[in-house]
Amino acid sequence: MNYKIENIKQLLVSKPLNLDCGLIIKDFPLAYETYGELNKEKNNAILIFHALTGDQFASGINPITKREGWWDTAVGANKAIDTKKYFVICANVLGGCMGSFGPKEINKKNKEPYGLNFPVITIKDMVKAQEALLDHFEIKKLLCALGGSMGGMQLLQFCASFPDRTFSAVPIACSSSHSAQNIALNELARQAIMADPNWNKGDYVKNDSSPKNGLAVARMAGHISYLSESGLQEKFGRKLQEKADYEFSFNADFQVESYLRHQGYSFVDRFDANSYLYITRAMDYFDLSKQYKEGLTEAFRDQKTKFLVISFSSDWLYPTKHSKDIVIALNASGANVAFSEIKTDKGHDSFLVNEPKFLMTIKNFIDSCYEAYKK
């Protein structure tokens, strides 16, 4: 990761946090960003949970990478999540690499980066850390909390752990536990990173190096899973990359190859390899039903939160069945829940792109919740 992380908002969390692995951390930084203004009644606050490779910069231009925020299609003035109307909070997760406490941070005990000495964290740990932001802003109850993919996992955990802290919730393209397929894909990515000689058992920062090739391959593998077969075929097919015929080499003959290489190697400049290991591990460990004797039904019992569960028809990473299982559990627990499957060929990444029906769905839901919450 080549970017310097400077001049960002950080909350120093002084309250001790008991991690699932048995360790305790305290006085650690949690980086965050806000959009819009919190009103006097403090009833217009929205918390957004980011996905695996996201960060706190959901909208506008990321001041560190100089790129567009990861959810700029949805968050901003006059957009689906209207920052002229709502106060939006987004934090970089625990274990991340954009200013929050993670493996590239310096260990005060030996003055060296944590590397693999960083504690293994879980989705539950991430969520418990972010509750400190609500206390910081003195927000007793959010208007809404949203998240897609890993952000959706955090959202489900948040609602289970803190059932009274949000009026409404929108879990998007996610699951209550990782499937064997998704664990396998994450393991493939981790092995690619660890097989890179520059990884150096996680101590690459001390050597001023980075396992760029391994991280790029990990990103390529992940990126394929975020798209759909029909979407890839329509966009690329078997089109060649600026040539009339095969080169008969292992260069990027096809446009899709060139696209993947670009996605992989542009990613290594903004993300830390060890963070990728830790965050994917947290996703694999996530199993909300395992935390409760009676499974998901108990996890959502006595929920007063209003839910809208969203899936995408072409998402094979977190197919609609996963979302329907969440809906069934919410119904069984007596929760107020609605469900929407968005028809699209854009795959898992549909929530990150300009998908009009999806954006209109979340806008209508949040706006209606705000009118109900104000009464």
What is the distance between the alpha carbons of residues 264 and 214, in angstroms, rounded to a whole number? Answer: 9
- The residues near 279 (Cβ < 8 Å, ≥ 6 apart) are 52, 93, 95, 96, 150
Nearest-CA neighbor of 114 among 128, 96, 93?
A: 96
CB 332 within 8 A of CB 128: no
HSE on the CB side for 89, CA within 13 Å? 28
Active site residues: 149, 315, 348
How long is the chain?
Answer: 375
What is the distance between the alpha carbons of residues 149 and 128, in angstroms, rounded to a whole number? Answer: 18
What is the distance between the alpha carbons of residues 164 and 160, in angstroms, rounded to a whole number? Answer: 9
Using CA of residue 53, residue 58, residue 63, residue 67, what is the dihedral sign?
Answer: positive
What is the distance between the alpha carbons of residues 266 and 260, in angstroms, rounded to a whole number? Answer: 10
What is the distance between the alpha carbons of residues 113 and 103, in angstroms, rounded to a whole number? Answer: 7
How far, CA to CA in Å, does 283 sit from each of 6, 343, 356, 358?
Answer: 28, 26, 29, 24
